[in-house]
């Protein structure tokens, strides 16, 4: 009985530790279309009249033969690389002239 309680306690602790990590991941998006260009650092997909350039690296998983002309569905995330804040402080109200 003590072993079961210890096991359940360990599972509860692991679930609590994993929850913030899962909540911190950003939303995923998808784009589907034919591949028009492939390099080691990006995949370019044609979606309608738009050209979508999606970055890739060594951790990008690809199944099948990824080549120009293949129809693919790419799952990706949007991540900010820099933020340039301009203007007044947040929450600052503008005064109306009367």
| Angle ∠(38,40,45) on CA atoms, nearest 5 | 30
Q: Is the pLDDT of residue 80 over 60?
A: yes
Task: Give the helix/strand (H/E) hosting 21.
Answer: helix 2-24
Cβ atoms 69, 78 nearer than 8 A: no
Q: Is the pLDDT of residue 81 over 60?
A: yes
For the chain, give percent helix, strand, coil, nearest 5. Answer: 25, 30, 45
pLDDT value for 95: 59
Please tell me the pTM assigned to this model.
Answer: 0.60
Higher-confidence position of 88 and 76: 76
Higher-confidence position of 95 and 17: 17
Q: Is the pLDDT of residue 82 over 70?
A: yes
pLDDT band at residue 10 under the 50/70/90 scheme: confident
Tens digit of each residue's pLDDT (9 = 90 or more) over 55-74: 999 999 999 999 999 999 99
User: Average pLDDT of the chain?
Assistant: 84
How is the beta sheet containing 42-47 ordered, strand by strand?
50-55, 42-47, 28-38, 71-77
Write down how long the chain is: 98
pLDDT value for 87: 86
């Amino acid at each position: 009985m003590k072993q079961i309680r210890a096991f359940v306690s360990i599972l509860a602790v692991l679930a609590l530790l994993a929850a913030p990590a899962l909540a911190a991941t950003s939303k995923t998006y998808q784009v589907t279309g034919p591949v028009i260009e492939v390099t080691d650092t990006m995949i370019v997909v044609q979606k309608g009249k738009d050209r979508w350039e999606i970055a890739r690296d060594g951790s990008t998983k690809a199944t099948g033969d990824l080549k120009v002309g293949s129809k693919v569905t790419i799952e990706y995330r949007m991540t900010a690389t820099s933020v340039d804040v301009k203007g007044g402080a947040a929450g600052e109200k503008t005064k109306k002239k009367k």
